[in-house]
A and B are shown apart, each in its own frame.
Chain A
Amino acid sequence: MKRVRVLLVDDHTVVRRGLRRILESVPDIEVIGEVGDGVAAVGAASSLTPDVVLMDLSLPGLNGIQATKRILSEQPTINVVMLSMHAEEQYVEQSLAAGRGGQNRR
């Protein structure tokens, strides 16, 4: 079985490490990288070509929506899943406009 290769993007290290452990407990998921800001996410997505990017919405520098736009403009086949503490409609709409997939409320 081909494993789903995931890039994790969250600026809060302890949160990111926790997410990594949750994902790593699933046999068909492989976490191939983790980064803490939007610029690094764009770079890592380009060099690692993950199947899925799990992206925190609020990141320093380049936020999750901006980073998603850049990643998808380079590699339109990557699936970006937005992770957010906010269920506000405007964020969901912006996330959907920036890429495919939905928004998972924490």
Chain B
Amino acid sequence: MLKTSVLLVEDHTVVRQGLRRILENDPSIEIVAEVGDGREAIAVAQRLSPQIAIVDISLPALNGVEVTRHLAKVAPDTRVLILSMHADEAYVRQSLKAGAKGYLLKDADDQDLIRAVSALSSGASYFSPQVSKLLLDGFVHDTPAADDELSVLSDREREVLQLIAEGKSNKEVAQLLNLSVSTVESHRKHIMEKLDLHNTASVVRFAVRKGIIQ
């Protein structure tokens, strides 16, 4: 039998190893790699193109939504299952727009996790019941997009925004993203102009409110 190849992306090691054990208990699943960092996840997915990537939504430096967005480009055959503590409409909406095919809450049990992987590997989607309800309510009531403000930013600007909100200096952001300091300064300026924010503290508050950082 051909096994479903899975990449596990979760920054909390003991949680990641626990997930690995649950998944490895199923004979149809093979964990091809596990990583604790969003950028590494992109590199590994590009190299291994696993069928499924299980991605924790709250990763430092590059969060799960941004990782999903990158994976859609560099590993288009990899289907992303977002793992999250939050049944929050903004998170769900952003994840799906970024290309995620499933959204599993951490209060799911081990069988739900297996079912989600199995659904995604067969080309279907999987959502925890609370998430399905959110999606249904959003569809029926046609709620306005909660992520409108974020969509004014480019992909690169969102990455810079997360790093600034995490307290990184322009120099540190430049090193992490392989950019010059002046390019980062100009991204920072554009982000603040577009969002009408006037200091770093308000950038941090915005990022927390939008779920970009915890």
Q: Which residues of A contact B (CB under 8 A)?
A: 11-15, 17-22, 25, 36, 83, 85, 104, 106
Q: Are B18 and A17 in contact (CB under 8 A)?
A: yes
Q: List 14 A-B contacts (CB under 8 A).
A: A12-B85, A13-B107, A14-B108, A14-B113, A17-B109, A17-B110, A18-B14, A18-B15, A18-B20, A21-B18, A21-B25, A22-B17, A106-B13, A106-B14
CA gap between A11 and B109 in the complex, in Å = 11
Beyond A11-B107, A13-B109, A17-B22, 17 additional pairs, beta carbon < 8 A = A12-B85, A12-B106, A12-B107, A13-B110, A14-B22, A14-B107, A14-B109, A15-B18, A15-B106, A17-B109, A18-B14, A18-B19, A18-B21, A19-B14, A83-B14, A85-B12, A106-B15
Which A residue's beta carbon lies closest to that of B12?
A106
Q: Are B22 and A18 in contact (CB under 8 A)?
A: yes
A22 — which chain B residues lie within 8 A by C-beta? 14, 17-18, 21
Which A residue's beta carbon lies closest to that of B112?
A14
B106 — which chain A residues lie within 8 A by C-beta? 12-15
B108-128: contact bitstring with A at CB < 8 Å (1 yes, 0 no)? 111011000000000000000
Most chain A CB within a 10 A radius of its CB, from B12, B17, B18, B20 = B18
Residues facing A in B1-40 (CB within 8 A) are: 12-15, 17-22, 25
Distance to closest chain B CB from A1 (angstroms): 23
Residues facing A in B99-153 (CB within 8 A) are: 104, 106-110, 112-113
CA gap between A22 and B104 in the complex, in Å = 21
- Nearest 5 pairs of A and B residues by beta carbon: A18-B18, A106-B12, A12-B106, A21-B21, A17-B110
CA gap between A36 and B144 in the complex, in Å = 35
B60-92: contact bitstring with A at CB < 8 Å (1 yes, 0 no)? 000000000000000000000001010000000
B104 — which chain A residues lie within 8 A by C-beta? 14
CA gap between A83 and B21 in the complex, in Å = 19
Distance to closest chain B CB from A3 (angstroms): 19
B113 — which chain A residues lie within 8 A by C-beta? 14
Which B residue's beta carbon lies closest to that of A25?
B21
Distance to closest chain A CB from B213 (angstroms): 13
Most chain B CB within a 10 A radius of its CB, from A12, A14, A18, A85 = A14
A106 — which chain B residues lie within 8 A by C-beta? 12-15
Distance to closest chain B CB from A73 (angstroms): 28
